[in-house]
Amino acid sequence: MTAPILRKLSDLRALTAAWHRDNKTIGVVPTMGALHQGHQSLVEAAKAGADRVIVTIFVNPKQFNNPEDLANYPRTEFEDAEKLDPFQVDAIYVPDPAEIYPQGFATTVSVAGLTDVMEGEFRPGHFDGVATVVAKLFLQTQADRAYFGEKDYQQLMVVRRMARDLDIPIEVVGCPTVREASGLAMSSRNQRLSADGLRVAAEKHHIMRALVQAVQSGAAFDTLAAQADTDLRSAGFTEVEYIQLRCAETLEPLTHADRPARLFVATWVDGVRLIDNLPVSRA
Ligand code: PAF
């Protein structure tokens, strides 16, 4: 069964109102399209966790701080709908832009603190765009649960905080990163990598895993991070924006893994920015 593609909020509201009348729980998987197995794993989690599943597809201009990045972002609605077929989702919401940002739209949702670092530092305005669109998608879909990948771990934390602070009655569920056999984290941006870029990108996972192991055995992070920076550049990355160890709960920076932590890395290859992160157990 092919899921209906809805472009109007009024059509979405009619559907979700009927589901709520029937006491059905709703799961939402917010995406910007260019779906891959990472998204499909979120859809599977949503199918297991809710009675009705909506996938949203909206390339959100407000979260791109770089116009070239927005222009190059893959738009593959037809293929995306086909990829969702086997999962039998209940609706695909591809809102007309005016349903998200109507004429005169003047509100920004901004989460302080968590957004000052990493992606927030290197992509100014990015998280305001994310928090604003996700708040709208939560309110428009009236979902009970929302599914996000840990690949964008900082985004997951920001969205969770936003929903909690605004009393939006939704459970934000984090799902593990899905990786290629090479270890490369799946991302819509991988489509823009050359064969050589893909080979370089895959090296990052190995360098990150070695770093995680060393930190878990008690070594100080700073020296290890400097070595990992050198290793990433030697592997072929043209830029290493950050390599950071942070508390998994609060995202505060750590020098040792003295509590459950996360290693975060942002790099460039082939003109494509790639982020990844790994869990780090207490040393
Ligand atoms: O992770 C993404 O694809 C986007 O940031 C999201 C959550 C769909 C908001 O536009």
**Which atom of ligand 1 approaches the CA of 63 most closely?**
10
Residue located nearest, by CA, to atom 6 of ligand 1: 31
Domains of the chain (ranges plus CATH)? 5-175 (3.40.50.620), 188-278 (3.30.1300.10)
Average pLDDT of the residues in 175-194: 96
pLDDT digits 0-9 by tens, 72-95: 899 999 999 999 999 999 999 999
pTM above 0.95, yes or no: yes
- Residue 1 class from Cβ within 10 Å (0-12 exposed, 13-18 middle, 19+ buried)? exposed
Question: What is the residue type of 9?
Answer: L
Q: How far apart are CA 37 and CA 42, in angstroms?
A: 9
Q: What is the pLDDT of residues 223-232, one digit of tens each?
A: 999 999 999 9
**Closest among 190, 209, 116 to 154, alpha carbons compared:** 116
Q: What is the rounded CA–CA span in Å between residue 252 and residue 70?
A: 30
Return the ligand 1 atom nearest residue 137 CA.
9
pLDDT at residue 121 in the model: 97
Residue of 130, 147, 189, 190 best suited for mutating to test ligand 1, as the one with most atoms within 8 Å of CB: 130
Amino acid 16 reads T
SS3 47: helix
- For the chain, the average pLDDT equals 97
Nearest to 172 by CA among 201, 146, 207: 146
- Locate the ligand 1 atom nearest the alpha carbon of residue 134 and give its number: 9
The reply to whether ligand 1 has any atom less than 6 angstroms from the CB of 32 is yes
pLDDT at residue 283 in the model: 82
Active site (annotated) includes residue 39: yes
SS3 84: helix
188 touches ligand 1 (CB under 6 Å):
no
In short, whether 207's Cβ falls inside 6 Å of ligand 1 is no
Pairing of strands 145-149, 26-31: parallel
* Alpha carbon distance 175, 218 (integer Å): 28
Does ligand 1 lie within 6 Å of residue 42's CB atom? Answer: no
CB of 134 sitting under 6 A from ligand 1: yes
